[in-house]
Amino acid sequence: MPTLNSTPTAVSLSGLTTGTWTTFTVSGLPAGTSGVILSFNQATSGGATDISVRKTGSTDTGYAPSPYAVASKCQSVKYVGVNSSGQFDLYVNGTLTNFSCYLVGYFGSEATFFTNANVVATTQPTTFTTYNMASVCPGATALFLIHSGRGVARQHGSSDAWYNAAGNTTNYTLVGCDGSQNFDFTAGTSGGASGSLYCIGYMTSGITWYSAAQTLAAIAANASLQNVPTVGSESSPVGFIYRMGVGQAALTLGGPTLNTTNYNPQMSPNGTSTASYEQLVAAGSPAQILLPSDGTNLQLYELGYFFNTSGGGSGGGSNDFGMLMMGAGG
């Protein structure tokens, strides 16, 4: 049984059997860990790789008809619950050469993950539609969603419209909800949306989500590591949640890095300035970003930030959120 530990080093997936589910165990995390943040990295060319993750014990078989999750030279973030033994299941099908997984964060009692996903809608709407999750996610301040295509999830009442860059992906998305547990979603009118809209869990504390994304300084495309800006008014942040506009980029913290040579071509969405991917970086030391010298500067937006509720620092308490000291992009 493969193991991911709390030291942020890559675990190669090249030896896995494709087309089947493999159980992974996470180790070195606090007692009471309810879920984890994973980042998958396809470091070289070779075609897309299908990926699904689920909480061990789930009977879910996958979350889209064609769940292309990570294309060549790309990164992708996934959220998944773990059982009482710290286990989750991973399904892969496709190119596994130079393909690896990082454990980049974890959740405690502030997050609940369902064993089987809750189906929010069996078809994805083409205009913004409001969904109320109060009965399924009581007291929620943020939701873990899965959808396919270029869909947009946003806090109810927000005017943000961050379409995902590629239409052939299955997206694991974190989004804030309002005080009545409402959020809005649209698949848009193009971009490969198919299958259902799912909720796999929710947070009740430990996260601040802005009703409107906060615009940060643009990053110059000069092939050098630059510090990632923040809003500056966060209260004891543990990690930051970003969206990026047009451009290619790799995130790092100056130490372990996911992808600083191949960048991420899926973050160059055909000149569509509202297309992007959700990005996570840990707090505690200056997060850094690297752009190629292609003349395309990158606009960066902060959607919100994580904090721990026990005051235990970036690692949190025994039942608290924490991020490991590296970046994740996807």
Measured CA to CA, the distance from residue 321 to residue 316 in angstroms comes to 6
Amino acid at position 4, single letter: L
Q: Residue 220: which domain range?
A: 210-308
Residue 285 is predicted with a pLDDT of 58
Radius of gyration of the chain from its Cα atoms, rounded to whole angstroms: 18
Residue 74 is predicted with a pLDDT of 60
Distances (CA, A) of 127 to 17, 189, 190, 245: 39, 8, 11, 22
We report the CATH number of the domain holding residue 233 as 2.60.120
Which residues make Cβ contacts (< 8 Å) with residue 107, sequence separation at least 6? 33, 34, 35, 36, 37, 113, 203, 206, 321
Residue 75 is predicted with a pLDDT of 65
Residue 181 is predicted with a pLDDT of 97
Q: For residue 291, with 0-12 CB atoms within 10 Å meaning exposed, 13-18 middle and 19 or more buried, which class applies? A: buried
Residue 7 lies in a domain: no
Residue 22 lies in a domain: no
Residue 208 is predicted with a pLDDT of 92
Residue 328 is predicted with a pLDDT of 38
Report helix, strand or coil for 310. coil
Regions of the chain with pLDDT less than 70: 1-10, 14, 42-48, 63-75, 95, 98, 149, 162-169, 189-194, 223, 225, 244-277, 284-296, 310-330
Each residue of 231-272: pLDDT tens digit?
Answer: 878 888 888 888 766 545 555 433 334 444 433 333 333 233
Number of domains in the chain: 1
Residue 302 is predicted with a pLDDT of 86
